[in-house]
Structures are given as structure tokens and as C-alpha cells.
């Protein structure tokens, strides 16, 4: 029960006792007391004047006096105009801490009974994962964990874009320029080799466009008639017609990429419950296009292409099938959405996709509604901003992206260098150091990206993310390790502690009350983050908790406390704090070490 709910119940009892009126607890307005007034929480008195038939301050005085006399958890009050400011006693804070300590599921919200699918990653099989994919993956994974903490049944899904003209471009470049090279022959990951093919195609294509323009063709026509692009489109038609040679090449190169993706996902700690491939779902979309033509939702042009006219809705006409019969992105998205809602009986579907696709999802929802699917309103596009580097934006075609594997390796090196420079791991074995370097590097990467609100474009600086001070993952990891170190020392001194050591008569300090207050709002923060679909709220809550502990630790020599009752109370308090910190960071997919 939150402090607000507790006071609502007690206020209802006070009104019944003082004025003989029965009011439902949720009709009372309770909020945190403003900083310029004394108190913890404030009850708004104005709505009660119709019952008290007295002035606002007199009503507040009467209710405050009753609450202090009859509720041991309330120690003091002051009535200011129409606001009753109430202060909690040590009894309340100790009851609150004991409740948190004894609840193994603290922070886990009640089950909603809802099935929610979160689709993220969804890479193309023509290049390796890069920094932009990392933000997508970390957001998708943490949103999935967050929704699960919010009481939902969550299905983590990805739709791999393994077909289309962009895939054919890499295939064509491999045939023309790579002389049978394989990942094994080159000693590289398969997704990296295929990415090199994609870059090679772009260079070839640009050279052909230049040659056509030098021959007198205008730029727009040259871009359409460049031989390599024409051949890539022909290859796509062959693929859709089941051409064996094209399909065999496609299968071989995709197998290289999937193996590479799996290694990167493993390094990031990412997994999926459902993996779909566009090559397996695009026909579902074609079937929907056929039905839409029959029902008049779509219209066919003389060249055979199929369109959906959305101009009456303030949008454009949308191509859903090319004239040569090949599908486009939205074709497969239509079919996949229908299958997923039917197969999983979804209550909601969250797509984690960059904000450059805002229009795409607006169109997708509208077309699905026109096709008669009422659940189209349950589709939510979690639109996020791009990740940029100090040196600017990345471009896949030009090979100027920051590769995900390279970045993960760089974070490990940064964690190793920073840890060794700080001297924090002097008493740790070589094997444990290696694990810690990976944990710190990955924690730094995840936290730095997730702490930024998804809607914002962000600038990623690897070195800044590793800092052991400030709002970073390593700072929170080190705080947790510090707490566990104190508890290990207590254990070595045969000091025991538990929930029973949180006694009603214990008088916590103001700093300890602040810690208990912060611990108590964890479920509220989970609920707030779920509503906003923003793991950043959990990241910044974790930082606030770690920062508050460090201030407390600086002023409170815990193990030098002479009163054995207070010593055990404080040990239990920081043990609870470490548990809540682990839960909050686990929602972000970040591990906290026992020692650092």
C-alpha cells in the first residue's frame, strides 16, 4: 500500500469519527507535501467543507488532531488554509521498510492478464548490426522486461527482413566482386562479409550512374537504368519465382548472416520468443492485398501495381504491390500483423522502430482498419530518436557505421582501462576481472543508451559512459558492490540481521527515512515507466537510489555503530536497498556485481 492509499484510508476513518460521514477512501486527495511546508504528505481539505460546515483551517485542525491521537503512524500535523500537512512517525517508516523487506515480489505489479508482443531488432540480412540496432535492441529488450514487471504476458518478437531488392544487391555484389569468398576463407563473421558486399554494390552502382551521366543521360534516369540495379530487381523477381540458383545463393548468404546475428545477440544478452522471416510472411500480405482488391480497399493500376488511396484521410496513395508482382515492406507487415494477433490473441503490439518510420506505421494502422481489423487500434509504434556519434551520423551504404561487435569490444577495453586506472579491482582474481570487464562494459553501454528518453536523439560517447562517477551504469554497479562489501564484512564479524530487526521503536535518521521513501516508490516508478513505455524512468530511479545511498554512506559509518539494534537495522536497510537496486537494473537488462 502506498503512503497516499494509507492516508486515504485513515482520512476516511477520521471523517467518519469526527463528522459521522462515510466517504470512500479514493475520494480523498493526497499528495506529497510541498518543500516550503513541514510534512510528508498533504490532504486537501476543501472538498470536505460541505461535510464539516466549518472553515478550511478549522476542518484541518479537527481532522489532524484525530489522526495524531488515533493513528500511531502519524506523528504531527499542521493546517494551512485548505491543506492538512501530515508527518509520518518512525512507526510508519519502519512498517513500510518491513513490508518491502518481507515481500520477495516487491515492485512486480499485479497481473493484467494481457498478452503484449514487443517487436524489435528486425534487421536486414545485408549488413551486420550497428550502433543504431544496439539502441533498438536495448530499448526493445528493456521495454519487454518493463511490461513483464507491469504484470503483462510478454512475447519478444523479431521480424528479419531477409528478402527484397536490398538483399539482392548484396547477393549480386558477391557474385560480381568477391570471387567465391566465404566467412571461413576470410576469417570474418558472416554478417560482416555480407555487409562488405552491400558496400561494394553501392560503389559499383554509383560508378555506373556516373558513366551513364557522362554519356549524356540525366541523373534521375541514370539512377533507374544503372545495369547493377536493373539486375538486382531481376534477381528479386527470380527469387519470388523460386529460381534455384538465386535461392541457393540467398540461403547460403543468409545462413552466414544469421550466425553472425546470433553471436551479437548473445554478447548483448538479447533473446527472442518468436523469430519470423519476411521470406515466410510476405505471402500472407499478398493474400490480404488480394482480399483488399476484392473488397475495394485497394485499386490496381494499368501497369499491374496495387495501391491504397489514403488521400481522403490526409495521407498519400500507398503502394502495396509492385507492377511485377513483388511485394514491398508494408505488404509483409500487413500479413504478419494479422497472423500475430490471431495466433497469440494479442491485446497489444508494440513496434520498436526509429522515428524515420513514423509515417509507415500511421499508414499501416490505417490500412488495417480499412481492411476491417478492429485491433489495429492496439498497435503502438514506440518511436525513438537516432543515435549519433561525436563525429556525426552513420551511413550503411558507405560503410561508415559503428559496428555493434566492434562497439561491444571497445566497451570491454574501456571498462578494462578505466578499472585498472582507478585501482578498484586490485584484490580480484584474473578470471573474475575478465567477467567484471565484460559486465561493466556492457552495463555502461546499456545504461548510457537506456537512460535517455526514447523519443530523443542521443549522442553516444563510449568513454563518458564508463565513468565510475555521475549518472552512469558503472557508478550504480560500484554502489551495489560497495553495499555487498559492507554486508560481507558484517558476515565475517558474525553479525546477523533480518526483517525482525526493523522494530517499531527504532528511530531512523532523516537520511534513513529518505532511503525508505525512495525504496517505497519503486512500484510507482515501475507503473509510471510502463505507462510511458520509457525504461529511462527506471534508469534514472536507479541512479537516484544509488546516489542517495552514497550520501548516506558518506555520513554514516554503518559498521562502527555501537548500538547493536541500530546496527542490525542499518544492515537490513542496505540489504533491502541492494535487492531493489538489482530489480530496477534487471529491468534494464543490467547485471550488478557482488564485488568491484
Longest dimension (CA), the chain: 96
Length of the chain: 596
- CATH 3.30.1360.70 positions along the chain are 3-88
Q: Does 27 score more than 60 pLDDT?
A: yes
Mean local confidence (pLDDT), 188-200: 94
Residue 419: predicted pLDDT = 78
**CATH 1.10.730.10 intervals, the chain:** 404-587
- Angle of helix 227-240 relative to helix 190-214, nearest 10 degrees, comes to 130
pLDDT at 106: 96
What is the C-alpha R_g of the chain?
30
CA distances from 42 to 29, 61, 275 (A): 8, 13, 50
Fold of 3-88: Gyrase A; domain 2 (3.30.1360)
- Would you state the pLDDT for residue 390? 66
Q: Please report the beta strands in 267-347, taking only residues with DSSP state E, as ranges in sequence order.
A: 274-277, 299-300, 306-309, 317-321
> Which pLDDT does position 428 carry in this prediction?
75
Dig out the grid coordinates for 510 from the structure.
Answer: 532523516
Q: How many CA atoms lie within 13 A of 412 on its CB side?
A: 12
Indicate if the pLDDT at residue 386 is higher than 90: no
Mean pLDDT of the chain: 91
With cut-offs at 50, 70 and 90, classify the pLDDT of residue 424.
Answer: low
Cα separation, 75 vs 39, whole angstroms: 10
Give the least confident one: 20-34, 38-52, 154-168, 463-477.
463-477
| pLDDT score of 431 more than 50 | yes
Question: Per CATH, which fold does 404-587 belong to?
Answer: Isoleucyl-tRNA Synthetase; Domain 1 (1.10.730)
pLDDT at 84 over 50: yes
- Pick from 197-201, 237-241, 530-534: least confident: 237-241
Q: Which residues contact 210 (CB under 8 A, 6 or more apart)?
A: none
Strands 41-44 and 299-300: unpaired
Q: pLDDT at residue 396 above 80?
A: no
Tell me the pLDDT band of 455, cut-offs 50, 70 and 90: confident
| pLDDT band (50, 70, 90) for residue 90 | very high
| DSSP reduced 3-state for 263 | helix
At residue 98, does pLDDT exceed 80? yes
Taking the C-alpha atoms of residue 65 and residue 55, their distance in angstroms, rounded to an integer, is: 16
pLDDT at 417 over 90: no
Which residue do the cell numbers 558477391 mark? 174
On the question of pLDDT at 395 being above 60, the answer is no
Distances from the Cα of 453 to the Cα of 140, 182, 462, 517, angstroms: 13, 41, 18, 24
| Distance from C-alpha of 116 to C-alpha of 375, rounded to nearest angstrom | 12
Question: In angstroms, rounded to a whole number, what is the distance separating the alpha carbons of residues 45 and 58?
Answer: 10
Name residues whose C-beta falls within 8 Å of residue 443's C-beta, 6 or more positions apart in sequence.
Answer: 473, 474, 476, 477, 585, 590, 591, 592
Residue 41 neighbours by CB under 8 Å, 6+ apart: 3, 4, 7, 30, 31, 32, 33, 85, 86, 88
Report the range of poorest mean pLDDT among 103-117, 135-149, 397-411.
Answer: 397-411
Amino acid at each position: 500500500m502506498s503512503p497516499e492509499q494509507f492516508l486515504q484510508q485513515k482520512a476516511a476513518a477520521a471523517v467518519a469519527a469526527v463528522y459521522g460521514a462515510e466517504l470512500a477512501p479514493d475520494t480523498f486527495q493526497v499528495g506529497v507535501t510541498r518543500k516550503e511546508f513541514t510534512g510528508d504528505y498533504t490532504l486537501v481539505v476543501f472538498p470536505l467543507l460541505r461535510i464539516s460546515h466549518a472553515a478550511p483551517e478549522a476542518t484541518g485542525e479537527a481532522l489532524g488532531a484525530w489522526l495524531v491521537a488515533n493513528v500511531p503512524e502519524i506523528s504531527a500535523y499542521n493546517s494551512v488554509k485548505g491543506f492538512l500537512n501530515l508527518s509520518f512517525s518512525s512507526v510508519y517508516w519502519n512498517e513500510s521498510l518491513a513490508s518491502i523487506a518481507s515481500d520477495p515480489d516487491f515492485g512486480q505489479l499485479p497481473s493484467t492478464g494481457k498478452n503484449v508482443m514487443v517487436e524489435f531488432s528486425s534487421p536486414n540480412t545485408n549488413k551486420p548490426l550497428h550502433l543504431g540496432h544496439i539502441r533498438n535492441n536495448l530499448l526493445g529488450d528493456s521495454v519487454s522486461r518493463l511490461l513483464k514487471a507491469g504484470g503483462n504476458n510478454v512475447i519478444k518478437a523479431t521480424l528479419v527482413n531477409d528478402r527484397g531488392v536490398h538483399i539482392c544487391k548484396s547477393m549480386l555484389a558477391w557474385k560480381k566482386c568477391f570471387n567465391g569468398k566465404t566467412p571461413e576463407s576470410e576469417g570474418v563473421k558472416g554478417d560482416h562479409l555480407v555487409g562488405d558486399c552491400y558496400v561494394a554494390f553501392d560503389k559499383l552502382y554509383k560508378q555506373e550512374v556516373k558513366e551513364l551521366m557522362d554519356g549524356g543521360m540525366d541523373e534521375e534516369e541514370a539512377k533507374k537504368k544503372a545495369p547493377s540495379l536493373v539486375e538486382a530487381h531481376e534477381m528479386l523477381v527470380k527469387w519470388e519465382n523460386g529460381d534455384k540458383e538465386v535461392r541457393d545463393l540467398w540461403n547460403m548468404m543468409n545462413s552466414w548472416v544469421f550466425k553472425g546475428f546470433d553471436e551479437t545477440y548473445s554478447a548483448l544478452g538479447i533473446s527472442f520468443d518468436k523469430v519470423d522471416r519476411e521470406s515466410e510472411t510476405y505471402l500472407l500480405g499478398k493474400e490480404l492485398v488480394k482480399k483488399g482488391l476484392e473488397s475495394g480497399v485497394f485499386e490496381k493500376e494499368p501497369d499491374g501495381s496495387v495501391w491504397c488511396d489514403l488521400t481522403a484521410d490526409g495521407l498519400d496513395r500507398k503502394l502495396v504491390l509492385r507492377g511485377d508482382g513483388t511485394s514491398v515492406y508494408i505488404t509483409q507487415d500487413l500479413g504478419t500483423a494479422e497472423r500475430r494477433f490471431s495466433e497469440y490473441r494479442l491485446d497489444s503490439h508494440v513496434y520498436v522502430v526509429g522515428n524515420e518510420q513514423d509515417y509507415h506505421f500511421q499508414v499501416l494502422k490505417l490500412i488495417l482498419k480499412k481492411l476491417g481489423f478492429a485491433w489495429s487500434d492496439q498497435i503502438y509504434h514506440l518511436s525513438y530518436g537516432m543515435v549519433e556519434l561525436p563525429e556525426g551520423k552513420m551511413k550503411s551504404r558507405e560503410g561508415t557505421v559503428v559496428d555493434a561487435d566492434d562497439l561491444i569490444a571497445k566497451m570491454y577495453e574501456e571498462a578494462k582501462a578505466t578499472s585498472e586506472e582507478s585501482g578498484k579491482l586490485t584484490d580480484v582474481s584474473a578470471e573474475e576481472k575478465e567477467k567484471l570487464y565484460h559486465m561493466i562494459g556492457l552495463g555502461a553501454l546499456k545504461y548510457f543508451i537506456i537512460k535517455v528518453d526514447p523519443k530523443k536523439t542521443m549522442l553516444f560517447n563510449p568513454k563518458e559512459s564508463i565513468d565510475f562517477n555521475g549518472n552512469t551504469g558503472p557508478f550504480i554497479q560500484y554502489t551495489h558492490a560497495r553495499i555487498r562489501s559492507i554486508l560481507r564484512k558484517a558476515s565475517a564479524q558474525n553479525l546477523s540481521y533480518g526483517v525482525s530487526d526493523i522494530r517499531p521503536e527504532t528511530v531512523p535518521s532523516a537520511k534513513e527515512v529518505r532511503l525508505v521513501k525512495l525504496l517505497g516508490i519503486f512500484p510507482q516508478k515501475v507503473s509510471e515507466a510502463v505507462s510511458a513505455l520509457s525504461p529511462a524512468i527506471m534508469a534514472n530511479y536507479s541512479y537516484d537510489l544509488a546516489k542517495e545511498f552514497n550520501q548516506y554512506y558518506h555520513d554514516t559509518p554503518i559498521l562502527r555503530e555501537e548500538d547493536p539494534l541500530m546496527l542490525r537495522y542499518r544492515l537490513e536497510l542496505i540489504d533491502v536497498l541492494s535487492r531493489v537496486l538489482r530489480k530496477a537494473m534487471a529491468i534494464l537488462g543490467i547485471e550488478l556485481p557482488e564485488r568491484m
